Structure formats: C-alpha cells, structure tokens
Amino acid sequence: MNELPSETSAADTTGQSPLQQHRGLVILVLTMGLLLVVGLAVIAVTIIYRISDSDDQQNDAAAAPAMVGETHDAPNPALAARHAPEISIARPAGAELIGATSTGDRMTLHFRGAGGDTVVVVDLGSGQVLSRVEIAATFAVEE
C-alpha cells in the first residue's frame, strides 16, 4: 500500500538521457553564457580604449588652436602665435596678471594692483588694445 513512486520518469523509459531531454535548454544556457562573456569583454575593451584615448585628446586639445566662441582660463598660445606672432601690452605699474581669457580672436587680460583692477581686451589678429577698463580700489560713498 505504501509504495514509493518509481524514480524513473517517462523519458527514462524511452531511452533518452537528461541532456537529450533538455537539449534546447542546454543550448540556450550555453549561448547566454557566451553572450555574457563577450559582452563583458566588449565593456572592458571600451573602458581601456576610452582611458587611453582621453590622454591623447587632452594632448591634442592643448596643441590645437581654439575654435571661435571657445572660452579658456588662459590664452591659447597656438591661437596667439597663429594670429599675431608678437603682442606687447603695457602692464599697469605694480600690477600682476591674475586672469586671462581667450574667445575667438579676442583676449581679455585681468590685472590687479594697489590702485585697483584693470581689464584689457586685445584683438589677437592685429595686436591692438580694443579697450582698457580701470576699476578703482576704493569707492567714494555719497550720503
């Protein structure tokens, strides 16, 4: 009465092994495993390529002339050399250069001295000073 079910299945009685029974599933699992390995390899190669390529791009960007509308914290030497090989600007007495920005064919220089700040805009093509703005160090307040 208390018979245990037989451990043999219907497939075993037909003479097929478990691998033959699930042939489609085995192929699917192996294909998915292969795709996973290939995908991880592609990700690793992409990361390595981008890391090595970013160093090359930084070197190229430093050597390339600035594009019109591009703004930099410091003047681009390649752009200045291409437009005007030699530009001489009188620095205010006792002032030091605290900032420079290059935009297209214009360069803005910011000087700071005891008497205040001076902002000078230079045309890199001609070397001419386009404008000079003096900012006094003290302001008189009217009451």
pLDDT at position 86 over 60: yes
> In whole angstroms, what is the distance from residue 103 CA to residue 123 CA?
10
- In the chain, the amino acid numbered 117 is D
What are 1-25's pLDDT values in tens digits?
556 555 555 445 567 787 778 889 9
For 131: left if phi > 0, alpha if psi spans -120 to 50, otherwise beta; the answer is beta
> In whole angstroms, what is the distance from residue 100 CA to residue 61 CA?
18
> In whole angstroms, what is the distance from residue 124 CA to residue 109 CA?
12
Domain range annotation of the chain: 10-62, 71-136
Helix, strand, coil percentages for the chain (3-state, nearest 5): 40, 25, 35
What are 37-84's pLDDT values in tens digits?
999 999 999 999 888 877 666 665 555 544 444 444 455 555 545 544
Give residue 33's pLDDT.
97
Question: Which residues lie closer than 8 Å to 111 by C-beta, 6 or more apart?
Answer: 91, 92, 95, 96, 97, 98, 117, 118, 119, 120
